[in-house]
Structure 1
Amino acid sequence: MTEADYQFLSSFLRARSGMVLNSDGHYLARSRLPAVCRRFGLVDPAEVIAILRNGSHPEIEAAVVEAMVIQETFFFRDKTLFAQIHETVLPRLVEARASSRRLRIWSAAASTGQEAYSIAMMLAGMAPRLEGWTVDIVATDLSEVALERGRKGLYTHFEVQRGLPIQMLLKHFTQLGDLWQINADLTAMVDFSRINLLDDFSDLGTFDLILCRNVLMYLDDRTKRDVLERAVARLANDGKLILGGVETPLGLTEGIVADAALKGIYGRAGCR
């Protein structure tokens, strides 16, 4: 791939997904674009870039974005954070929603669904308290391939070993050969939808808890600010927003403030 092709690819990805290629960008392109070539019978990545320049093949354009965007996720990623969600955040929200008996949670950039299902498993453990409630878990991503895997709820042995406690595996999954199928009661709790965070997502409504983790880190500051401010607009007045461990809203928006007692968890400015 020529430097001109690489620069075009960088601009294309930024426009379509907000992703900014870092120092590993050349390696990422070399390692991931060949799969696009094999899928569409193309000769090499240079031919892929030529098609992107032409702008006449939406399916290939979508495939390039899906191939290049980082899809790193696993169950209960960051045990300390999920302990806070389980022990403090969810119980407080359930108490605060006792009158409406409805809870809405959004897992943004959900990839193949492990984060959303981690929340679903926690809520399943609170079933007696949530009897008669309406609980919505919305999982969104720009990759339809990743979303379809999430909808199926089928994971490899390697994937269920990453962060998933053995008792959770035995309780909520059924082994099917070399794969593990998450039980139907949990797949029924999660609604997977394709959403590009660069686009308008106001139709999703308002949420009590938003997880937008480890996605802002791949965006430029202008895009970070835009996505973050629009996500905050979807947050209930007393709701909570959770970012990735290395992500911060400082310098991007004054609409949210860190929770004094909960690391990595934010609430609307001026609201308790």
Structure 2
Amino acid sequence: MTELDFDFLRILLQRRSGLFLSTEKRYLVESRLGMLCRRRGIAGIPALVSQLRLGPASELEAAVIEAMTTNETLFFRDRTPFDLFRDILLPEKLAANAQSRTLRIWCAAVSTGQEAYSIAMLLDEAADRLAGWSIEILGTDISIEVLDRARQGLYSQFEVQRGLPIQLLLKHFRQEGDKWRLSERIRGMVTLKPHNLLEPSQQLGQFDIIFCRNVLIYFDVPTKARVMAALAERLARNGAFILGAAETVIGITTTLVPDPQHRGIYRDASSNAQARRAPFPASSEPGGSPSAFKTART
């Protein structure tokens, strides 16, 4: 792969997906796109670049983006965001949305689904508090391949061992050979759609809570600011925004600001929102009644 080919791919990936590749990541491009070329019978990366240079080739470009996307995720990843959701944000929204009895949650980089399904399992534990509510969990990702995996809800032993409490595994999964299938009920609580964070998102509507975790770390600062501003526009009044543990809004945007009371939660600066803490004890037992709320579809 020549420097010109590498520069072409870097520009293409950043323009289409936001992914920023430093020169130190050249080995990653050669490895992942080399595998793509072998699968597709393309002579090599120079031949791949030649095809891309011929003009619009949305399917081939999408395959390149798919190959270069990192889809690392796990159930209840970093745990703290899910504790904040259960103990702070959910009680807050139960009070704030008591009249409309609606709740919309967006997982903006859902990958193979573990984040959205973790939220769904927490909501299932709170079913008695959510009877009669219209709940939507929307999961989006740029990768069609990982969305297909998420829809299947089929995970390896290694994947279910990473962060998933044993009581939730036994309650919501059934074993199929050496894999575990998530129940249709929990999968049915999540709507999955393809979406590129660099593209307009007005059609998705407004959300009470947005999770966008561990994806902005792959963007440069101008792209981070652009994406954060767009996501902030999707926040309903007094909504909440949650980033990854290694991510921050500081020095990137003034549209979102840290919640002064709860580390890890960000708010729309214009709303001057103050989270209202309310008691909402976690269920320590895997049992419980079936979900008593309905899900909304878009």
- TM-score above 0.5, yes or no: yes
Q: 1-side partners of 2:61 and 2:255: how far apart?
A: 35
3-state SS of the aligned residue for 2:128? helix
3-state SS of the aligned residue for 2:147? helix
Aligned to 1:48: 48
* TM alignment of 1:93-132, pairs within 5 A: 93-132=93-132
* TM alignment of 1:1-272, pairs within 5 A: 1-22=1-22, 24-269=24-269, 270-272=272-274
TM-score, normalization by structure 2: 0.88
Asked if the contact 2:242–2:264 (Cα under 8 Å) also holds between the matched residues in 1, the reply is: yes
Structure 1 gap ranges (5+): none
Asked if the contact 1:14–1:20 (Cα under 8 Å) also holds between the matched residues in 2, the reply is: yes
Q: 1-side partners of 2:66 and 2:100: how far apart?
A: 38
More relative contact order in 1 or in 2 (CA 8 Å, sep 6+)? 2
Counterpart code for 1:64: V
Pick closer, same or farther for the CA change 1:23–1:164 going to 2, 3 Å: farther
Q: 2-side partners of 1:98 and 1:146: how far apart?
A: 35
Percent of aligned pairs with the same amino acid = 49
Deviation at 1:23, TM superposition (A): 5.1
Deviation at 1:223, TM superposition (A): 1.3
Aligned to 2:290: none
**CA RMSD between the two structures:** 1.3
Counterpart code for 1:267: R
Q: 2-side partners of 1:134 and 1:35: how far apart?
A: 44
TM-score, normalization by structure 1: 0.96
> After the TM superposition, which of the residue ranges 173-182 and 247-256 deviates more from structure 2?
247-256
Deviation at 1:19, TM superposition (A): 0.6
Deviation at 1:24, TM superposition (A): 4.3
Q: 2-side partners of 1:75 and 1:48: how far apart?
A: 36
Counterpart code for 1:177: G
Asked if the contact 1:81–1:263 (Cα under 8 Å) also holds between the matched residues in 2, the reply is: no
Asked if the contact 1:238–1:267 (Cα under 8 Å) also holds between the matched residues in 2, the reply is: yes
Asked if the contact 2:207–2:239 (Cα under 8 Å) also holds between the matched residues in 1, the reply is: yes
Question: Aligned pair count?
Answer: 272
Structure 1: 4+ residue segments shifted above 6 A: none
Q: 1-side partners of 2:192 and 2:34: how far apart?
A: 28
Q: 1-side partners of 2:185 and 2:98: how far apart?
A: 23
Q: 1-side partners of 2:85 and 2:137: how far apart?
A: 15
Deviation at 1:259, TM superposition (A): 1.2
> After the TM superposition, which of the residue ranges 94-103 and 54-63 deviates more from structure 2?
54-63
Deviation at 1:129, TM superposition (A): 0.8
Counterpart code for 2:110: A
